[in-house]
Structure 1
Amino acid sequence: MPFTPFHLGPGAAFKAIGGRHFSFMVFGGSQVLMDIEPLIGILTNKPILHGPTHTLLGALAIGTLAGIIGKPISAAVLRWLSVPHYPFTWAASFLGAYVGTFSHIVLGAIMHSDMSPWWPVAGGNQLLGQISLGHLHVACMVAGLLGAVVVAIRVKFKGRA
């Protein structure tokens, strides 16, 4: 799912579940980092767009990077925008980063035949086509809508997400 907002739907649901212990901003940033490889592949006309970064090992590495850079960047952006929020923790940053990268692998594996998501544990792509692309998109949208409603209610009553 390169460069698609559908990944953000599950992120909103995780934000609703995790609250202040989960960074939606770092989750979103991890999605962007995951899709640098497919972007380069598209620009250079590579036959495989989802290579090493779209594996368990790639998700771990990119998640670690996203968690490290996500906290200071997100905290600065929230301050700059004067967004009221709970103190930004390293745990929230890393949870957002790892949920972002590993969910990216699962969602992408369902629809991209050029992935070997379980490498280095196993080869192949056992998730490919497990549900239709239409159902996958609907599930992501429903997760996003439900998550957004819960987060909006939390903000209304508590003043922050």
Structure 2
Amino acid sequence: MPFTPLHLGLGASCKAIGYRKFSFMIFAGTQILMDLEPLFGLILGWHTLHFYTHNLIGALLIGIISIFIGKPISEFTLKTIFKEKHWQISWKVAVFSALTGSFSHILLDAFMHADMYPFFPLSKSQVLLGLIPYSYIFYGCLFGFLLGGIGFLIRES
């Protein structure tokens, strides 16, 4: 299923640890951009859903796109919806958040998707596939989301 919320568990943990040095919104936006390819694949009936965006080169390109669209969108959202008038996301935070989002996405997906080749075009090997059971990934991300959310709330108060 595209747009899986599982990836957000890592983002929530990173936000709790990094706090203002990490943008959860840019991270989450990157997750959505990464999964546009599988979404189109499901709609159009492609046989391979995780190919162009789900490798190191694709993750780098999606990460770069996320930096330049995620920073202004996130700042606008923080200022208008959350009323954080003086909030500014630095370019360093935007780069770190977007690239963490894109590369962690392919790492997590490499463990569970048989149609994914993280080292393409250099190799079509799937060295990580099945290395970690899906249930471990699922519950690990869920636990990371809960723990990260609690950690963030504690830091905010």
Q: How high is the TM-score relative to the length of structure 2?
A: 0.94
Structure 2 equivalent of residue 8 of structure 1: 8
Deviations 1:117-139 (A, max 9, x none): 12244431111111111111000
**Residue 23 (str. 1) matches residue 16 (str. 2):** no
Decide whether the 8 Å contact of 2:79 with 2:87 is kept in 1: no
Q: CA deviation at 1:83?
A: 4.2
Which secondary structure state, in structure 2, belongs to the residue aligned with residue 53 of structure 1? Answer: coil
Partners of 1:118 and 1:105 in 2: how far apart? 10
Report the RMSD for the aligned CA atoms in angstroms. 1.4
- The C-alpha deviation readout for 1:15-44, integer Å capped at 9, x for no partner, is 112211111000000000001110111011
Give the conservation status (yes or no) of the 8 Å contact 1:3–1:35: yes
Q: CA deviation at 1:90?
A: 1.1
Q: Distance in 1 between matches of 2:4 and 2:52?
A: 20
- The code of the aligned residue for 2:15 comes to K
What does 1:5-154 correspond to in 2, within 5 Å?
A: 5-84=5-84, 86-154=87-155
Number of residue pairs aligned between Structure 1 and Structure 2: 156
Q: What is the identity, as a one-letter code, of the residue corresponding to 2:138?
A: H
For residues 115 and 45 of structure 1, the distance between their equivalents in structure 2, rounded to whole angstroms, comes to 16
Paired residue type of 1:131? I
For residues 154 and 103 of structure 2, what CA distance do their matches in structure 1 show? Answer: 27
Give the direction of change, closer, same or farther, for the CA distance of 1:75–1:45 in structure 2 (3 Å limit).
Answer: same
- Secondary structure at 2:53's aligned position in 1? helix
Alignment check: 8 A CA contact 1:117 1:125 kept: yes
- Partners in 1 of 2:91 and 2:122 — Cα distance? 28
CA shift, 1:82, in A, is 2.9
Q: Which runs of 5+ in 2 are unaligned?
A: none
Q: Report how far residue 4 of structure 1 moved.
A: 1.0
Q: CA deviation at 1:74?
A: 0.4
- Distance (Å, rounded) in 1 between the aligned partners of 2:113 and 2:154: 35
Percent identity of equivalent pairs: 46
User: Unaligned regions of 5+ residues in structure 1, if any?
Assistant: 157-161
